[in-house]
Amino acid sequence: MASSEGNKLWGGRFVGNTDPIMEKFNASIAYDQRMWEADIKGSKAYVKALQKAGLVTQNEMEQILTGLDKVFDEWSKGEFKIKPGDEDIHTANERRLKEFIGDPAGKLHTGRSRNDQVATDMRLWLRDAINTLKELALQLIKYSLCSHDLTNIEILCPGYTHMQRAQPIRWSHWILSHAVALSRDVERLEDIRKHVNVMPLGRLFLCIYNFKRILYGLLSMCLCTAEFLFWASMCLTHLSKMAEDLILYSTKEFSFITLTDAYSTGSSLMPQKKNADSLELIRSKAGRVFGRCAGFLMTLKGLPSTYNKDLQEDKEAMFDTYDTVHAVLQVATGVISTLMVNQPAMERALSPDMLATDLAYHLVRKGMPFREAHSCAGKAVYIAESKNIHLSQITVEDLQTVSPLFDKDVSSVWDYNRSVEQYSAPGGTARSSVTAQIEHFRTWLQAQKQKP
């Protein structure tokens, strides 16, 4: 009696049936069916290459292409029925193709292993996924700049280090700091796309699949998956940091910003609450992606070269990470493009002690070495604290006990606008510098749109 294993792509040398528990344990159709479109498109391109190589006739190729179109149509309409024994998306599609056209379906697998097929499918799927995520990341950069750049360039707010007020900055400068991180994420994603956009089946199939080059050596698809997971971890690190800032800024203690109702939720107990759940979820989704990345790297670290079944774990990690980043980028764009800035609250948070560095620079401009000037400014801060007054309220006479270089002109230090304007180097907080950064990103965004 023929074994049911003979119906599998690999079953010819087996006698007897696979244990049902093992059958379920081994199957990947539950999640790799997401690649149905890539699998069918890949197979359509592959059969054309087989015909060019003389391995299928013109008539057989046409039958296979027609059958694959029917399979595609069933998936598109949600009518495809997965059956027991459909181990993965490749087996399922080939099984259905055979039901449509009969024996010619068996020639589709000529010259390629299932590993070749999955490597090609994943590259096709991930290539499209990367294009989508890049576009979403560009939208986030665009909307953050368009919503909060030149219109808010005059808004000053505290800059923080160690969660302590540090120096005055422009709100636009804070926005730009996150745009820089995201722009690097976009550029890293472009590099990964170059690594993904490689044909694993040889030169014959290069143009048919529209890949840029062929793959030499035994570089596994899993390395591209690992790169993608690491990229996602870095991207969500940046978005989580941005979310954390905005969560703090939206609290009553800060009141720097207000989230729109569209990206907030309430409390089932306390009617006054307006919770930044959108941002909190962005922060938590970062941990989810980190876990996927770390988990897959743990799978990879002890494997011998080439293919091992352990690598079946790459797909769930890849799909879940894509879905997570896809959602996070959209929500982050919605939050950042609709939030309302409370300029009075930001400017009330500015305090003269934040100009202590400027007090040191005042002495530097009079010839004092910075280390000595820093010490003098620190002593001035101590005097203000001991007298329970603002730094700007110290008398010239008290300042002269710290350094004779202090004079009446020290009054010019106590100006927040003057403080931010002194940093006019590229990347600085001066209006001219911030404007130049915004224009740089607008040009950069335009160049990104023109890339293929």
What whole-number distance in Å separates Cα of residue 165 and Cα of residue 210? 53
Given 109, 195, 250, 267, the catalytic residue: 267
Handedness of CA 162, 168, 173, 174 (dihedral sign): positive
375 included as an active-site residue = no
Strands 198-199, 213-214: pairing kind: parallel
- Secondary structure E strands in 295-366: 340-341
Q: For residue 434, what are the CA distances in angstroms to 149, 342, 386, 446?
A: 9, 20, 37, 19
Task: Return the closest-CA partner of residue 127 out of 200, 176, 46, 189.
Answer: 189
Per-residue 3-state assignment (H helix, E strand, C coil) for 41-73: HHHHHHHHHHHHCCCCCHHHHHHHHHHHHHHHH
- Do the beta carbons of residue 138 and residue 445 sit within 8 Å? yes
Would you call 267 a catalytic residue per the annotation? yes
279: nearest Cα among 255, 250, 327, 244: 244
Matching residue, tokens 């299932």? 114
The distance from CA 6 to its chain's CA centroid, rounded to whole angstroms, is 44
Contact status, residue 29 vs residue 87, Cβ threshold 8 Å? yes
CA nearest neighbour of 235 among 185, 283, 288 = 185
Angle at 299 between CA 296 and CA 301, to 5 degrees: 110
Nearest residue to 328 via CA among 317, 320, 340, 338: 320
Report d(CA 213, CA 195) in Å as an integer: 10
User: 17 phi and psi, to 5 degrees?
Assistant: -95, 155
Question: CA angle, 241 as apex, 238 and 247 as ends, to 5°?
Answer: 140
Please enumerate in sequence order all residues whose Cβ is within 8 A of that of 194, keeping only pairs 6 or more positions apart, or say none: 212
Catalytic residue (choose from 162, 268, 305, 386): 162
Q: What letter represents residue 74's amino acid?
A: E
Q: What's the CA gap between 71 and 132, in Å, rounded?
A: 25
Active site residues: 162, 267
